[in-house]
């Protein structure tokens, strides 16, 4: 969580690579600039494409409990179903982690593929879904989905990779994999929503929500904001989730705030209001064909009128 919102993949231009190498491997940078070490650099770039997620990478059991606590009223699922129902359709979950959401999609989907770059999580996701008909798990990053073009109706990503500027390679890949008319749905925490968003911003003072909103609007997404509730059995369970999401100081403040909001009773069940943004974009379903008569009547020989993509 601490790295949320940072630019994930600056596009891997030569300049980006050299800049990264200067910081991490100063001896290699000049060699790369002169064309040596190509293999080393490709490996470096591929590694840099994957954004470590300290919560699920290093605390998978606590993250599992957190996933159970999230969205206890099913508000996110309700919005997703309303916006892009996947019943009878083919779903891809990018950055699926340990596959927590795959069985839920599979209840009504025709097929579900989870894509995850971190090998230990790929193994966990396969273990979770082993034997469930219609679910597959593949290893790969959002920037190079290991899937054929035009093979999915819904590409979904939840709190994974698509954090703002820098995720353009993944947006292009999602479009490649989607069928015409298919939907890309990106679910992420709403940094503008209190109190959870305040805790996120305390750890990410440079994060600019307006810039991120602008980026996705420019990329053609509409945004549905959803207030959900996270529900925990007791304070210890809430604390275990907050401690894998935030720095120790921010987590300690968050625990105090949760206790205060729940009447100061650590033994009973507690809830936290948590806001999400659901970003949605449909892949255009084709070129708009102007009627032949309109084409020729309105367009002179030098006209630049051409079919438009809606």
The site for ligand SAM (CB under 6 A) is made up of 49-51, 53, 55-56, 67, 94-97, 100, 116-118, 121, 141-143, 158-161
Q: Which residue is nearest to ligand SAM (CB)?
A: 97
Q: Residue 123 in contact with residue 151, Cβ under 8 Å?
A: no
Min CB(97)–ligand SAM separation in Å: 3
Give the nearer residue to ligand SAM in terms of CB position, either 143 or 228. Answer: 143
Least distance from ligand SAM to the Cβ atom of residue 251, Å: 16
DSSP labels, 102-133 = HHHHHTT-SEEEEEES-HHHHHHHHHHHTT-T
- The residue (of 158 and 283) whose beta carbon lies closer to ligand SAM is 158
Count helices and strands (H / E) in the chain: 14, 7
Burial 36-67 (b: 16+ CB within 10 A, else e): ebeeebeebbeebbbbebebbeebeebbbbbb
The whole-angstrom separation of Cα 280 and Cα 126 is 28
For the CB of residue 113, give the shortest distance to ligand SAM in the complex, in Å: 13
Q: Which residues pair with 94 in a beta bridge?
A: 115, 157
Nearer to ligand SAM, 98 or 153 (CB): 98
Please state the closest distance from residue 267 (CB atom) to ligand SAM, in A: 28
Element (DSSP H or E) covering residue 237: helix 235-245
Least distance (Å) from ligand SAM to the CB of residue 230? 13
Q: Is residue 280 a contact partner of residue 183, using CB atoms and an 8 Å limit?
A: yes
Whether residue 195 is preceded by a cis peptide bond, meaning omega within 30 degrees of 0, is: yes
Torsion of CA 160, 161, 164, 170, to 10 degrees: -130
State the minimum distance, in angstroms, from the CB of residue 116 to ligand SAM.
5
Considering beta carbons, is residue 29 or 221 the nearer one to ligand SAM?
221
**Nearest distance, CB of residue 8 and ligand SAM, angstroms:** 6
Q: What is the distance between the alpha carbons of residues 301 and 291, in angstroms, rounded to a whole number? A: 17
Distance CA 263, CA 258 (A): 9
């Amino acid at each position: 969580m601490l790295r949320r919102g940072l630019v994930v993949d600056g596009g891997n231009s030569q300049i980006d690579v050299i800049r990264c190498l200067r910081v991490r491997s100063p001896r290699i940078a000049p060699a790369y600039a002169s064309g040596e070490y190509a293999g080393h650099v490709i490996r470096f770039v591929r590694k840099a494409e994957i954004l470590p997620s300290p919560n699920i990478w290093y605390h998978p059991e606590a993250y599992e409990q957190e996933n159970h606590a999230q969205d206890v009223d099913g508000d996110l699922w309700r919005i997703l179903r309303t916006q892009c129902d996947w019943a009878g359709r083919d779903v891809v979950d990018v950055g699926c982690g340990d596959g927590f959401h795959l069985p839920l999609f599979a209840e009504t989907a025709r097929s579900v593929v989870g894509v995850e770059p971190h090998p230990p999580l790929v193994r966990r996701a396969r273990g979770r879904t082993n034997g469930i008909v219609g679910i597959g798990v593949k290893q790969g990053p959002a920037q190079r989905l290991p899937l054929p073009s035009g093979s999915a109706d819904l590409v979904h990503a939840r709190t994974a990779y698509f954090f703002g500027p820098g995720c353009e390679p993944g947006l292009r890949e999602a479009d490649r994999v989607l069928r015409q008319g298919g939907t890309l749905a990106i679910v992420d925490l709403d940094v503008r929503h209190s109190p959870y968003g305040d805790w996120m911003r305390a750890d990410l003072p440079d994060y600019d929500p307006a810039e991120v909103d602008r980026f996705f609007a420019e990329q053609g997404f509409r945004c549905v904001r959803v207030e959900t509730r996270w529900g925990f059995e007791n304070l210890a369970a809430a604390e275990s989730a907050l401690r894998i999401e935030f720095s120790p100081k921010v987590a300690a403040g968050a625990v105090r705030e949760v206790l205060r909001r729940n009447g100061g009773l650590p033994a009973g069940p507690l809830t936290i209001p948590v806001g999400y943004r659901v970003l949605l974009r449909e892949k255009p379903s084709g070129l708009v064909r102007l009627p032949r008569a309109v084409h020729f009547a309105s367009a002179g020989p030098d006209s630049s009128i051409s079919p438009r993509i809606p």
